[in-house]
Amino acid sequence: MTAFCQGGVNFEHLTFDEALAKAKAENKLVFMDCYTSWCGPCKYMAETIFPQEKAGEFFNPKFISVKFDMEKGEGPELAKKFGVRAYPTFFIIRPDGTVQHTIVGGGDLEGFIARVERGLNEKTSLDYLNKAYEKGKMNKKQLMNYSIALQDAYDEAKSKKINTELNAVLKDKDKLKKDFWPILENDGYGSENFKFVVKNLPAFRKNIGKEKVDAYLFGNYSMAIDNSNRGPEPAKTLEQIRQDLSTINLEKNDELMSKIELAQAIADQDVAKIISFAEQAAQSGSKEVWPVMNALNSIKNKASKEELGHIAELGDKFIANAPAQGKDYMENFFESFKIAAYTGVYFQDLTFEQALEKAKKLRKKIFIDCYTSWCGPCKYMANTVFKQENVGDFLNKNFICLKYDMEKGEGPELMKKFGVRAFPTFVILNPDGTVRHKLVGGGEGEQFIERVKESFDDNKALSTLTTKYENGDRDKAFLLQYTKTLNSLYDATAKDVAAELMNIATDEEKLSPDYSFIFLSSSLSPKDSEAEKFLLANREKFNTTIGKEKVDGRLSEGLYSELMRSIASKGENIDAKRLDAIGKEIKTLKLSNEKSLLALQTIAKAVKAGNIDRLLSTCEKELSKIDNNQYVVYYLSGAFEKATSAQKTRWQKIMQGQSK
């Protein structure tokens, strides 16, 4: 049988039922570790505690040990069966499948073994004590054991209830006894029992032992100092601890006073003082770095860019002194200061796989700039918008920022993966790598930030909208928003969603400003679609609500594009009948730019005819009638490739006339 940890606890590769059967055959109990891949304490137990030889010596003779990822395989079913609510959770299970004891959370090996031993002793196990309590027959010591077992199982509500019952029957003389120290030991700073210990310190040191009592006091004072800034009155808490320490002779008084000074600096948001503490800790190589790191984290939003950069530099020393299992966390922690110190968007140099791994570890979204080297708007975003401090501070705080050239390296593959059809496109991914949102096109700083914020809104983010649509949501307001989002991404399916919306929207809704973008887009209301028919049938109303110029521009858009394609292809992609039909359509529509379109149609017919002299004569007469004719001139140049020198000279004069 293979094991997860050779030399330590022998976790066997068994199903839950196989573990029960083996436990029965070997007259053992089952020890079950319920973990997840992302849980830090789970990893600590797996990598640091369980591999120890002493752990193996304790567990292996007594248990069939198994472990299950609560998110894979049998895990979800077991989590539901045993009511797992936090990670790691450990169960001591009898061969018949019933739970004898529950432990939630890890810890050092000695303390963890003590918790397991309570579960091995039937009379201090959770199951036994639960049943005894239900019978209503419990003495003081049993109530104490029950409270401890409930704390082991992280049942805070019931543990608190039992503590209240126990404290009601315990006399002061009981509390001074060694037998009841465990119940006092579990009450923290500020509790009545903690105050009782401080008030009767000589007696407790005599009865329990000075080392044990002082460790209890130090631990609780230390925790209270670390948590002081989470309370409503940190200054009051710190002053009370100062007064207590002045009357208590603890060996580590100086250490606690230093922690108070640091906590006070956090309360005051004294950036310089906190950085000074960090400098001292980095220089001394102190192992007690977590309070300092917590303090540094508290000033991240207040420190200047220069101060943030200095903190990032100090990180090198902290990382060098960190234990192997803590280096990754340290590197990510101090990298966050390096990023915060940067002015503008901090694009990280990572492969896509590296970025995904980092995002999962940090549980942070990814922002990807999909660009090309020749794209003008891409360059503007890179050289102007992404260098702005406000844009950088926003994106750096909320995302792991990446950029990939869509024509190099991983770019082409990512372009296909994310359906990039225009540049720049910005893809926002969830920490698991799934697409959360996409944006196409740039924008100015604050405007761009507001667009990115759409990814935080479930009513606007692409992924949530798509999920709702696929699940059958056809509410009109939803379809309207989904159409807008798809259209902004140049997604071809936008016209299909728009068509669905047209089928259920009322005429009044269609004429409202909210729907106007559909009728002003030739891709959302293509030729002969219900949307275009509605636009034509209600043209005068749209002229009032949208404006005649916009309506005429929309109606002429398709005709203009068709004529331009005809000229660009030298008439090869269109027949003469269609060109005549376009002329009739232009006249029927009575467009405000009719003169310009008819001139373009006349030139297109001349190009189709293939007679260069006729084309030149037509251009001399019609070209000046066309609005913004630069593109027309550009595409017409191809029609004169086989012209004579005289014809080319004539064409040059026509072009020069247009530029005046």
Rg (CA), the chain: 37
- Please list the alpha-helical segments (H only) found in 136-233: 140-152, 156-169, 172-175, 181-185, 192-199, 201-207, 210-226
Q: Residue 256 is encoded by which pair of tokens?
A: 């606690």
- Inter-CA distances, 400 with 339, 372, 397, 447, 479, Å: 10, 20, 8, 20, 31
Cis-peptide into 61, omega within 30 deg: no
Kindly report each contact of residues 68-77 with a partner whose C-beta sits within 8 Å and lies 24 or more positions away, as own/partner: 68/16, 68/32, 68/33, 68/34, 68/35, 69/35, 69/36, 69/37, 70/34, 70/35, 70/36, 71/36, 71/37, 74/15, 74/16, 75/34
- Tell me whether residue 34 is one of the annotated catalytic residues: no
What is the C-alpha separation between 274 and 265, in angstroms, rounded?
6
Going by C-alpha positions, the residue among 397, 391, 330 that lies closest to residue 364 is: 397
The answer to whether 128 touches 139, Cβ cutoff 8 Å, is no
Segment 280-284 long-range contacts (CB within 8 Å, at least 24 positions apart): 281/318, 282/314, 282/317, 282/318, 282/321, 283/317
- CA–CA dist 165, 148 (Å, integer): 14
The token pair that represents 638 in the structure block: 């191809």
| Sign, Cα dihedral of 624, 630, 635, 640 | positive
Cα 234 to Cα 268: distance, rounded to the nearest angstrom: 10
Active-site pick, 5, 34, 42, 378: 42
Beta bridge partners of 369: 403, 426
Calpha distance 609→571 (Å, rounded): 8
The sign of the dihedral angle between the CA atoms of 196, 200, 201, 205 is negative
| Secondary structure of 328-388 as H, E, C letters | HHHHHHHHHHHHHHCCCCCECCCCHHHHHHHHHHHCCEEEEEEECCCCHHHHHHHHCHHHC
Half-sphere exposure of 83 (CA within 13 A, CB side): 6
CA distance 400 to 155: 38
Would the CA dihedral through 378, 382, 386, 387 be positive or negative? Answer: negative
Residue 39 bears catalytic tag: yes
Catalytic residue among 39, 370, 401, 619: 39
What token pair was written down for 66?
């198994």
Q: Provide the 10 A C-beta neighbour count for residue 442.
A: 24
Q: Is 158 within 8 Å of 133 (Cβ atoms)?
A: no
Task: Quote the crossing angle between the two packed helices 327-341 and 290-298, to the nearest 10°.
Answer: 20
Residue 328 main-chain phi, psi, to 5 deg: -60, -45
Q: Tokens for 75?
A: 């895990």
Contact 438, 425 (CB under 8 A): yes
Transcribe 56-72 into DSSP letters: HHHHTTTEEEEEEETTS
What backbone torsions phi and psi does residue 526 show, to the nearest 5 degrees?
A: -65, 170
| Residues labelled catalytic | 39, 42
